[in-house]
């Protein structure tokens, strides 16, 4: 399986994602934001970080960079595109996934483990995962997902909500919402479910010596689903 990780100026989880993808069997290529052509890929990842220093709005400048034209075309033709953290913010700015990401409710950066409930397993990302709940890791300042009521209804009807913040048991109550996201939303798909944007960092959960191992489960499953 071939993957590509896009590096924007200010990306800082690009190496971590490269390490993770390679560990689980992807042949990964790093792609510079200023390039025009996307290498042949089964998966394109927009990594976390602070592309363009979060200036203007998180993700907005990166969404206009040269490579993004190819990424958008790739996504629109059914290609798998995953945006993590800042990558999610970029996806939102391109309009590939609906909604916006506001500043965290308590106005503070949050770095900690969280539980997320898988809301939809009818897609290449989460198909065949036995668990209902995964332990992931978040590290962000602007992860407060928001959308209009009409949009919310639409993404609910289309089952575009990928994961919700919850507790160990999968309860998605407000108290388990770290950042104020509407409906505890931690990740969303596009209509076709080939594009996934999410705030949690699975690449930081690939080793029991790090924060945990549910990231391993996620990547293992993902590459098997792609095969």
The answer to whether 85 is a known catalytic residue is yes
Say if strands 133-140 and 185-189 run parallel, antiparallel, or are unpaired. unpaired
Q: Which is nearer to other proteins, 16 or 172 (CB)?
A: 16
Q: Interface residues for other proteins in 152-211 (CB under 8 A)?
A: 201, 203-204, 206-207, 209-211
Binding of residue 53 to other proteins (CB under 8 A) = yes
> What three-state secondary structure class fits 66?
helix
Question: b/e map of 212-227 (b: 16 or more CB within 10 Å)?
Answer: bebbbbbbbbbbeebe
Catalytic residue among 13, 85, 147, 166: 85
- Can you give the three-state secondary structure of 132-162, one letter per residue? CEEEEEEEECCCEEECCHHHHHHHHHCCCEE
Q: Is 58 a catalytic residue?
A: no
**Rounded CA Rg of the chain:** 16
Query: Among this protein's residues, is 169 annotated catalytic?
Result: no
Please list every residue from 70 through 129 that binds other proteins, using CB under 8 A. Answer: 108-112
Q: Which stretch binds other proteins (CB under 8 A): 49-57, 126-134, 164-172, 189-197?
A: 49-57
* 178 vs 117: CA distance, rounded Å: 14
Instruction: Tell me how far, at minimum, the Cβ of 110 lies from other proteins, in Å.
Output: 6
Q: Which of 33, 137, 140, 201 is catalytic?
A: 201
Helices (H), the chain: 14-23, 66-76, 86-94, 149-157, 214-226
- List interacting residues with other proteins (CB under 8 A): 9-10, 12-13, 15-16, 19-20, 34, 48-50, 52-55, 108-112, 137, 139, 141, 201, 203-204, 206-207, 209-211
Task: Enumerate the active-site residues.
Answer: 85, 201, 203
């Amino acid at each position: 399986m071939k993957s590509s990780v896009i590096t924007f100026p200010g990306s800082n989880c690009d190496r971590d994602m490269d390490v993770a993808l390679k560990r689980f069997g992807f042949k990964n290529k790093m792609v510079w934001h200023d390039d025009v052509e996307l290498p042949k890929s089964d998966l394109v990842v927009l990594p976390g970080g602070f592309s363009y220093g979060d200036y203007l709005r998180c993700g907005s400048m990166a969404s206009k960079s040269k490579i993004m034209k190819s990424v958008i075309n790739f996504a629109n033709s059914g290609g798998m595109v995953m945006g993590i953290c800042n990558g999610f913010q970029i996806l939102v700015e391109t309009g590939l996934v609906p909604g916006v990401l506001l500043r965290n409710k308590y106005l503070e950066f949050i770095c900690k483990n969280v539980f997320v409930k898988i809301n939809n397993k009818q897609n290449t990302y989460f198909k065949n995962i036995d668990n209902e709940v995964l332990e992931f890791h978040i590290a962000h300042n602007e992860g407060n997902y928001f959308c209009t009521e009409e949009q919310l209804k639409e993404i609910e009807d289309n089952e575009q909500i990928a994961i919700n913040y919850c507790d160990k048991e999968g309860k998605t109550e407000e108290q388990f919402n770290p950042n104020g996201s509407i409906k505890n939303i931690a990740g969303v798909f596009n209509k076709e479910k080939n594009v996934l944007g999410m705030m949690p960092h699975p690449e930081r959960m690939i080793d029991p010596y790090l924060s945990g191992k549910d990231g391993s489960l996620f990547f293992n499953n993902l590459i098997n689903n792609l095969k």
